[in-house]
Structure 1
Amino acid sequence: MKVIRLERWADFVDLTSAQAGWAFRGETSAQWPLVSSLTRRLQTYCDDKSLWPLREERALRIFRRKAHIHLADRSALDDDLRCLALMQHHGAPTRLLDFTKSPYVAAFFALEDATGDAAVYALNTPVLWTATPAFDPTLTRERIDPRVAGNYARYFLGNRWPVLWCGEPSEMDRRLVAQSGLFVVPGVLDEPLERILQHYGRTDELIVKIVLPFAMRAQAMSALYRMNVTNASLFPDLEGLARATAYELEVVWERLIDEYRARQGALDAPAAPQR
């Protein structure tokens, strides 16, 4: 995997503008491997990899059996990708990896809570749209499409095929629309994304890791704020608005600072002597 370390926000803008049609994912730490939340959970608490398919299948079954209680329309539970997206949206570990068509949205998610070097991964989806794995060229994107009934169990749930599918569910929620989001679905859980892509045997650059140093954060977050890339816009609900106040703590205009200091100075001034 090609790794590019940038020093200026303008360099990120220039680089990603040349990656038209690619998909992007932000990671708060440049040291983290590119794996799903389900992989992280299973690696931490479930040592026996042979049982991972059983555990994932059970979690999906239990969610479907109970989620209808909280839904006005249960149709999403009958569609594998929509059901997984619903689970992911509400905090369940799944094999879906959130990507976005916007490099700026990815940069926001990478830098918002960063305390060190962050990373944005750029995925060459225009090439992957037609690419097939070298070990079986018949495994096209259309053939393994998890939106087709039965395909998720056939090509993904068994954790046997090192393939990758990327795209959107048949119906999208408000957050996915606001974030220009799409999902990457890996066929195996015990390999990071870049290793799965090696099975495709392409000479094209399929994935690029863009390292964003912490020193860039203030400049980048300020630019993203002016572009209205904030939690309030990316999560168009009360939770998103509340989360957005975290960055508002960092943003104070000079005029407000001057006014605040003037008020404090007036409060601290000694009282006029009594006559």
Structure 2
Amino acid sequence: MKSDIKHSELIISSITDLIDIIERLNRSSLEFVFRGQANSEWKFSPSVERNFNIYDFENSNNRIKRYEKKLYKGFVSSAHHFVKTEDMNFDDYVDAFSLMQHYGYKTRLLDFTKSLFIALYFVIENKYEFFKNGSVYMINKTNLITKLSKKDHKLNVFLEKKDEFIAKDNNYSDEIFFNRMHDIADKCLDIERNDEFPTSILIVEPKKKNKRIMMQQGLFIMQTDFNKKFIENLASAFNGEYQDIKHIFENDISKKAKIYYNLICDDLNYIFWDDIIKLVIPYGLKTELELFMNHINVNAITLFPDEEGLKKYIDENTSKIL
């Protein structure tokens, strides 16, 4: 089968490049979700995949379910001592696991944001990686929803909600789509179930959002199948093959010539129809980007509205004195 996944990798040279991208996105009918990483060579995968050798054994899905069951029960049994009551909704597995993700547990959820600016903050946040090239991954949410919507018959059979489908131009409306994805994700994360799912990738939002998720405009992409790696599942969701996009997840700009955004921006509109776009942020741009982000008030205290955010914000500003 021929792979039809579309992808691009662009090197950013200036803040002007980033503002131009945002202006183009504002004029576009397409919507993207964004993930910023301080090091462009970091793996593009959820923490449970990055930290455990889950693919080195048979029955990876069963191993993940055993791990998640123990994780969930341990968290729920003790969380009431540490978590604010208004943040808790343990009857909904998506909400429970997103809260665990918030507190740094290793889960299958991979964080994204609806804002390019917020993703850029996470490119400059990690001072240990400040002199490494960063990256922002742009996932075409409109294209992803369209591809997943075409699986509607299988999704309806799985969920047994055939009367709730609302179509708009043969695609899901956003509200119905996210409700449907949430229902599937809830069954996927249910510690007592071990089903096979009609799609290997889900894009989900918790129903009960804490302050951080709200301020970070957060949502998650998660996989249902651990017989393949996350990025293989993502490529498959776009009807593509991992081999076709492997280079943009494994190579740095020092290893392979890439395209500079400012050299092609006049002919760039077609690129924003791509499924996956990687923006490479050279480390030499990070200091200027940090100043710019502070000017537009995207910083630790606005994105982490709690005690940890206050500490991060003070640390970021006082460390410059030394």
The answer for unaligned runs of 5 or more in structure 2 is 1-6, 157-176, 241-272
Find the counterpart in structure 2 of residue 80 from structure 1: 93
Deviation, 1:49, is 5.3
Instruction: Tell me the alpha carbon deviations over residues 13-32 of structure 1, each in whole angstroms, 9 at most, x when there is no partner.
Output: 21243235311111111111
In the superposition, relative to structure 1, how do residues 159 and 215 fare at CA in structure 2: closer, same or farther (>3 Å)? farther
Within-5 A mapping of 1:15-94: 15-20=21-26, 21-43=31-53, 47-48=56-57, 50=59, 51-71=63-83, 72=85, 76-94=89-107
Whole-angstrom distance in 1 between the partners of 2:184 and 2:152: 20
From 167, 170, 181, the equivalent of 1:145 is 181
Deviation, 1:90, is 1.1
* Higher mean C-alpha displacement, 209-218 vs 56-65: 56-65
Whole-angstrom distance in 2 between the partners of 1:11 and 1:137: 42
Deviation, 1:36, is 0.4
Find the counterpart in structure 1 of residue 298 from structure 2: 229
Deviation, 1:130, is 3.0
Q: Which has the higher contact order (CA 8 A, sep 6+)?
A: 2
Aligned partner of 1:200: which letter? A
In the superposition, relative to structure 1, how do residues 144 and 58 fare at CA in structure 2: closer, same or farther (>3 Å)? farther
Aligned partner of 1:19: which letter? L
Find the counterpart in structure 2 of residue 186 from structure 1: 223
Aligned partner of 2:51: which letter? R
Find the counterpart in structure 2 of residue 239 from structure 1: 308
Find the counterpart in structure 2 of residue 13 from structure 1: 19
Instruction: Find the residue that maps to 1:97 and give its secondary structure.
Output: strand
Find the counterpart in structure 2 of residue 257 from structure 1: none
Aligned partner of 2:40: which letter? A
Whole-angstrom distance in 2 between the partners of 1:159 and 1:47: 22
Would you say 1:167 and 2:236 are equivalent positions? no
Instruction: Find the residue that maps to 2:148 and give its secondary structure.
Output: coil
Deviation, 1:117, is 0.5
In the superposition, relative to structure 1, how do residues 193 and 136 fare at CA in structure 2: closer, same or farther (>3 Å)? farther
8 Å Cα contact 1:35/1:97 also seen in 2: yes
Q: Please, what TM-score do these two structures have when normalized by structure 1? A: 0.78
8 Å Cα contact 1:134/1:201 also seen in 2: no
Whole-angstrom distance in 1 between the partners of 2:179 and 2:306: 36
Deviation, 1:152, is 2.2
Would you say 1:95 and 2:95 are equivalent positions? no
The answer for unaligned runs of 5 or more in structure 1 is 253-275
Aligned partner of 1:129: which letter? I
Find the counterpart in structure 2 of residue 266 from structure 1: none
Query: Displaced runs of 4+ in structure 1, greater than 6 A?
Result: 133-137
Give the paired residue count.
250
Find the counterpart in structure 2 of residue 206 from structure 1: 275
8 Å Cα contact 1:146/1:152 also seen in 2: no
Largest Rg, 1 or 2: 1
Instruction: Find the residue that maps to 2:39 and give its secondary structure.
Output: coil
Deviation, 1:12, is 2.0
Find the counterpart in structure 2 of residue 127 from structure 1: 143
Aligned partner of 1:40: which letter? R
8 Å Cα contact 1:88/1:94 also seen in 2: yes
Alignment root-mean-square deviation, CA:
3.1
Deviation, 1:192, is 4.8
Whole-angstrom distance in 2 between the partners of 1:79 and 1:29: 34
8 Å Cα contact 1:117/1:211 also seen in 2: yes
8 Å Cα contact 2:182/2:204 also seen in 1: no
8 Å Cα contact 2:43/2:50 also seen in 1: no
